[in-house]
Amino acid sequence: MVLLIIYPAWDVIGTLLDIRAQGSSQSKTPQYVNAAISAITTLAVALGLQKGVPEALMVFGAWAILTGLIQLILGLRRRKLLGGQGPMIISGGQSILGGSSFILLAHDPTMGISSLAGYAAFGAFYYLLAAYRLGKTTPQGTVAVH
């Protein structure tokens, strides 16, 4: 259950690092919206856990769908400018599918919690892959993390 709270909180940190690493040529509004959504979700999941695991899984699932959609759109928009956006695009699609499954499996918390570990593992893998790819494709002197 701790992972349900930590995961959206970690997304806030990753998004803020992405904002910091980005040049001034692009709008940062999508990342700020994503960070706000993830911060609110962190609190909502903690409150949802007070009611029960199914409620927390539904909140987490809705967050995964929404932030996955933001990642997908952002990755598609940035791919020509930065390159190396494949991991973000795939991660966004995976989040949409994963979030949908959390909502569908919320009635069976054992299944939903079990799938959370795989979702988190893929998310961590995509973060690392994106950092590696962006480090290879961004102009010298800039750092890209997300």
DSSP track, the chain: -HHHHHHHHHHHHHHHHHHHHS-TTS--HHHHHHHHHHHHHHHHHHHHHHH-HHHHHHHHHHHHHHHHHHHHHHHHHHHHHH---HHHHHHHHHHHHHHHHHHHHTTSHHHHHHHHHHHHHHHHHHHHHHHHHHHHHSPTT-----
Mean confidence (pLDDT) of the chain? 79
- Given a cut of 50, whether residue 35 has pLDDT beyond it is yes
Average pLDDT of 101-108? 86
- Given a cut of 90, whether residue 62 has pLDDT beyond it is yes
Average pLDDT of 43-64? 92
What are the extents of the domains in the chain?
A: 2-137
Average pLDDT of 80-93? 77
pLDDT category of residue 146 using cuts at 50, 70 and 90? very low
Q: Say what the pTM is.
A: 0.75
Average pLDDT of 91-113? 84
